[in-house]
Each structure stands twice: as C-alpha cells, then as structure tokens.
Structure 1
C-alpha cells in the first residue's frame, strides 16, 4: 500500500471537532495500525542454524527490487546503487517477472521466490513519510532474506536489532553495495542479520488492529472525552513527506 500525499482540507472542514480518536500508521495516532510486529517465541528454535545453512546455499543472486511505482527518489537511489552492483528489477519498472501475476496482492509465492533466490531485497518507500512502513517489510522479514530499507520510519525502533540495512546509515550507495557483496560471501556475517529468528517470530496485522479498535470501542477504560478539533492540521503536522 502506498501513501497518498494529498490535501483533504476541504473534505474535513465539515467534520472538525467530531473525531475522538485517530487510527493510522503514525506513532502519534490514538490507535496505531501497522502491517506487522515481532514477538518472542515460547522456545528457542534449536534447528534454526542447520536449516539456515541449507537455505543460504540455494541463494544465487545478490539483490532484487520490486517497486510499486516507477521513478522518484527510490528509483534515483537504485540507479546509483546499480552502478556498483547488479540489481534485478521486477514488475513494470523492470524486465523481470514473478511466475504469478501479482506481487502486492498478498502473493506469497512471489515473496518466497525472491527470498529464496536473493540475499537482499530493496524495500524502499514510494513516499518518504514519518513512521510509514510498507506492508512488504514484515512479509519479507518472515523469510530468510535481508531487507535493505529506505524511508521515513525509525527502523531501529520497529525491527529487530540488526535485521535490516538502513541506507540512511551509509552516506553513499557504494557503501551499501560493498556491505552486501561482503556479507553475501561471508556466512557468519550474513547470518547475523537473521540471528533474531531463533527466538522471535513475525506477526502480520492485516486485520488484528481492527479487532483492537473494536475492543477499545467497547472498553469503558478507553473512553476518550476529548476530540480532535482539526484532523487536517493533525495529519499534516510533522509528516515531512517527500515524493
């Protein structure tokens, strides 16, 4: 799901002061809706390392990108990165296809194929907005592949430590390229990105947050007496979205 940077000021004028809660990806929402989270397992997976060795041996390519929109700052970054390493681009922005028709309609076959073939996948936000995470991030985190992320979220706060490569931490794309190439040929270094999987699982939130909303609607403890005077002003405050 892409963010849509649009003004809805006119549409919200008639409903100023009517909303008690906000719900969305923003961390300052009354009810934060995310596409996934990470939870600790009840027990450590003792067979994890042996399985990982087998899976890593099946990987044959370095990095893939499957964008939802062509152009923009993400494409510009990928072009710079591609001058240092080969980036396989899938979908209408590239010349490669998943065997199935769709990637972003919850097509698990495509996620599984990319994760099995590549060491890294680029998970770049179409619009860089504070706190926003694409649904693809947590879906890829379920597999043995390392997401390379670019966006407006605080990734260290919403992903397991060391589980992703945040391009903001590297001044130049060639540094990210060098890191990927080095990690792909060093099992110990690469497996560190996946070490959190021994005792943690990824939970997808496609519908869970809406169940949580219903729970709060029926909870007397969560009744909120105040209201948001200007939802439009709240929505645009501090978003700092960049196309």
Structure 2
C-alpha cells in the first residue's frame, strides 16, 4: 500500500491501491478505525489478471470493504482513461502552454520506415498476443522491444514502466515504423493499453488486439483490428499497405480533424474532483460481493489463446 496517510482523518475519501493491498486487516492497521462517512475507494489501473498478482488477496475478504471504485471499467464510480480523442484545437485552447502538444506531422521517410513494432514486457500470455506476434513474424518483419522481445531501447530492456509522449523509445518507434502493434496484455472488456494513446501523437498506424470496442473510442479508419485477421492475413494486409503509400495515408486522414488529448490519463484527477463534490458520492454504499464486481463483471477472457484469429 501507499503510505500517504498523514491526513486520513480529515480526508474526504481514501484511495486504496488494489495491487498493494495484502489484507483488509493490513489496511485497517495502516489507516486506523474507519469513519462511516468517509468513502474508501478501490483504485486500480490494471486488469484483475495483473492487479492481484503480488499478494494473491482472497477476494471474499474484501466483501463489504470498499464503498466506491476507481477503475477502467464503464461501471466504475470514477473511470480511469489512459487517453481520449478530441477535435483539433479544442483541447489545447483550454490548457497552459506547457501542456499544449501538437501531433508529430507525417514524415517524408515512408519508403525507409520499417514495417511494425511492439513493446511487450508482460510475458504471461493471458491474451495470446505473444503467440499472435510469433505467428505474424513468420510472414513479415516485426520488432519486439522489452522483456518478451529481442530488442531493448535505452538502458533497460524492461519497458513496462509508464511511457511519456516524448520518451526516446516512443519517438524512435513512432517516427521510424509504419505500424505499432497495440496488443493488450489481457482480453478484458473496456481495457485499453496506454501505449495506444501515446502513439496516436505520431504518424504511425496502430494495430489493436483486445476485447474493447475500439469503434467507440477511436476515429473511423484510424486503426486496424487484428481480431478480424489471422496472423497470415494481417501480414498480407500490412505488407500491401507498406507498398501503397496512398492507401496507407488514408489511415492517417483522421489527424486532420481530431487529435489525442494532451490531458490524457490526468483527466481522472479532474473526474475524481468532480465526484468528491457530488453529495451522492458519500451516500452509504458498499460492494457486497467484491469478486463478482472485480472479476466476473470485468469479463476477462482467462482461457489464454482463444482469439478468433488463432482458432483452427
């Protein structure tokens, strides 16, 4: 747990990071007796497949423990977004200059750019993404950075830390590859990797693989959904677009009208502030069956490599 608890008695709410929670007793020991009028909020940015990987907490012990949730799912009290899309100019006009960031313009190096790149450091293949990538590599060249690949960028091969838009590795990939494989580490409804939004600042076409409905968060014809293709079919499509710049450019047309928000994941703090000022946030409420809410309703595919494109 995070031990920023010096003002817990006067706080309007307490955020408890799920991944750092050992037991409810541990939390009570750190935080002291509960104030019934103070909501305790479950905070987690990862899926349930990763969130409980450290302490292996028994979910039944968390029944009736949390009052509110701060999670990536649509039914969370405060939903965590890694990013979102806005109309060009609208986002920047409301921000201080230090946060204004235009998209990187299209490069003139189309013919010299390499085909595809991915950053993968969670090697437990819950989503079957590694199997998909390995199959894809049998047909086209794909560079994989991180613990699960053969390449590294910078001083560390570990790329599971939080990326920034100006990260050297991100810039290198965004400006020197045609496609970025934004493959999720878990097939969970509503879950979208932060790397997808970060790479939208660059003239690179994302190839997504996950259980989210990308059509609700991405502009039309701005991405390629790998769920619609076998690895061999996807290889043919990427190779075709790499040989036809005009067709490839159509996947970047959306950038004329929209852009990724420069607020990105920080929006959640504004959303939290709004909820803290709404009286209903403090009404009595508990999550009676934590496993039902956190695991079952999250609708994660736990059967490893069962992607439609990998079935025979």
Tell me, yes or no, if structure 1 residue 32 matches structure 2 residue 76: no
1:209: which partner in 2?
268
Q: 1:62 aligns with which of 115, 126, 134?
A: 115
**Structure 1 contact 129–153 (Cα < 8 Å) conserved:** yes
Structure with higher Rg: it is 2
State how many pairs are aligned: 234
Return the alpha-carbon distance in structure 1 between the equivalents of residues 243 and 143 of structure 2. 18
Equivalent runs, 1:1-243 vs 2, <5 Å: 3-5=47-49, 6=52, 10=58, 13=61, 16-17=63-64, 19-42=66-89, 51-52=105-106, 54-57=107-110, 59-70=112-123, 72=125, 73-99=128-154, 101=156, 103=159, 104-107=161-164, 108-170=167-229, 172-203=230-261, 204-220=263-279, 224-238=283-297, 239-242=299-302, 243=304
Q: How much is the aligned-residue C-alpha RMSD, in angstroms? A: 2.6
1:168-222 superposed Cα distances (whole Å, 9 cap, x missing partner): 112x111111111111121221111111111111024332202311221112366
Return the alpha-carbon distance in structure 1 between the equivalents of residues 260 and 77 of structure 2. 23
Unaligned runs of 5+ in 1: none
**Greater relative contact order: 1 or 2 (C-alpha under 8 angstroms, separation 6 or more)?**
1
TM-score, with length taken from structure 1: 0.84
Unaligned runs of 5+ in 2: 1-44, 91-101, 305-312
**Which piece of structure 1 moves more, 232-241 or 181-190?**
232-241
Structure 1 residue 59: Cα displacement: 4.4
Return the alpha-carbon distance in structure 1 between the equivalents of residues 124 and 244 of structure 2. 33
TM-score, with length taken from structure 2: 0.67
Return the alpha-carbon distance in structure 1 between the equivalents of residues 108 and 66 of structure 2. 49
Structure 1 residue 115: Cα displacement: 1.1
**Structure 1 contact 2–134 (Cα < 8 Å) conserved:** no
